[in-house]
């Protein structure tokens, strides 16, 4: 196995709001080795995107309370670095792809110029060499007529092409870690498959590690080596993709899998849903945070946080009434 690249230890990121402290990420731990991919899954509001931004240090300073934990990247604790040091790491060693490419592309700069900015920031390339490299990157991510496209603006491109541009920007300096936050959410199924295949090919070519944030369990099964399931700011189960998806132990993971559409489901059959709503993270329940929505709850679930249990070396979960092992 490749060496350990990223180690997140008991990470907590809270936000100060007018009506209380919101515990968006509340004690998250996981590891990632070089060249591997971990999927972070869970419902909207579970803390996935805040976790990603916490790792890379992209949070609003005026409202963020860094409540604890460490983010070790190749042995360096990113939470102890200053903003100038983080700017030298972002884009060069760690890159991020955001959900909506239009929010990360500048509408008044050409596509080529935006790629060139990253190259000039982190490399010694001349302006001319950076411009040529920008064209090469557009070709690498599958954009036809890259020299012409480099002179165009984002609004003239389709959603799939804009996402390819964002990927080109992210990979411009051959980062060691790529964080992809719902990179295919707004795309149709065909374009989604193309983008995922592109990410996989580029990851292999550059030997990157990747954190893939998604709500799509099919994407996790196809793209990831490991998976961590988040609920209400915490990881409630993690392990290899095969262990978690084929033999879930935590009841929330089981419910997520049951609510996913299946091709063998009879036509017009009612899709199972997880009843209720995620808890208020300003005042979360004292016990298991999934308990109010769980059909297996008892008094212990309501009063005491479940202990972390290792099913085996590569599979752990937190549940008082786990699914029986297969």
User: What is the model's pLDDT at position 98?
Assistant: 85
Q: How distant, in Å, are the alpha carbons of 83, 112, 115, 166, 212 from that of 127? A: 26, 11, 11, 20, 33
Q: CA-based angle 142:147:150, to the nearest 5? A: 85
Is this prediction's pTM over 0.85? Answer: yes
Residue 312's pLDDT is what?
A: 86
Whole-number pLDDT of residue 51: 95
State residue 216's pLDDT score.
87
Predicted pLDDT of residue 2: 65
DSSP bridge pairs for 39? 212, 227
pLDDT at residue number 196 = 87
Counting every residue, how long is the chain? 326
pLDDT value of position 183: 85
State the pLDDT at residue 186.
66
Low-confidence ranges of the chain (pLDDT < 70): 1-2, 66, 186, 325-326
């Amino acid at each position: 196995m490749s060496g350990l690249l990223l180690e997140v230890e008991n990470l907590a990121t809270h936000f100060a709001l007018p009506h209380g402290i919101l515990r968006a990420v509340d004690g998250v731990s996981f590891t990632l080795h070089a060249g591997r991919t971990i999927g972070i899954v869970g419902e909207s509001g579970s803390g996935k995107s805040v976790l990603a931004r916490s790792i890379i240090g992209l949070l609003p300073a005026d409202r963020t309370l860094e409540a604890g934990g460490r983010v070790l990247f190749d042995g360096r604790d990113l939470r102890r670095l200053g903003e100038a040091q983080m700017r030298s790491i972002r884009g060069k060693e760690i890159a991020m792809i955001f959900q909506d490419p239009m929010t990360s592309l500048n509408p008044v700069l050409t596509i080529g110029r935006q790629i060139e900015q990253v190259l000039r920031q982190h490399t010694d390339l001349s302006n001319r060499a950076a411009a040529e490299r920008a064209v090469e990157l557009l070709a690498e991510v599958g954009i036809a007529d890259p020299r012409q496209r480099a002179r165009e603006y984002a609004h003239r491109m389709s959603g799939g092409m804009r996402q390819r541009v964002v990927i080109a920007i992210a990979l411009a300096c051959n980062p060691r870690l790529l964080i992809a936050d719902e990179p295919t959410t707004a795309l149709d199924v065909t374009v989604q498959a193309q983008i995922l295949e592109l990410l996989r090919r580029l990851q292999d070519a550059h030997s990157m590690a990747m954190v893939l944030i998604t709500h799509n369990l099919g994407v996790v099964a196809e793209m990831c080596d490991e998976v961590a399931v988040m609920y209400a700011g915490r990881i409630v189960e993690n392990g290899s993709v095969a262990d978690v998806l084929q033999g879930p132990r935590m009841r929330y993971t089981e419910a997520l899998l049951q609510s996913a559409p299946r091709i063998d489901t009879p036509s017009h059959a009612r899709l199972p849903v997880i009843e209720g709503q995620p808890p208020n993270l300003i005042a979360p329940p004292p016990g298991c945070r999934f308990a109010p929505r769980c059909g297996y709850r008892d008094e212990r679930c309501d009063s005491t946080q479940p202990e972390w249990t290792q099913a085996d070396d590569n599979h752990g979960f937190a549940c008082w009434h786990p699914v029986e092992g297969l």
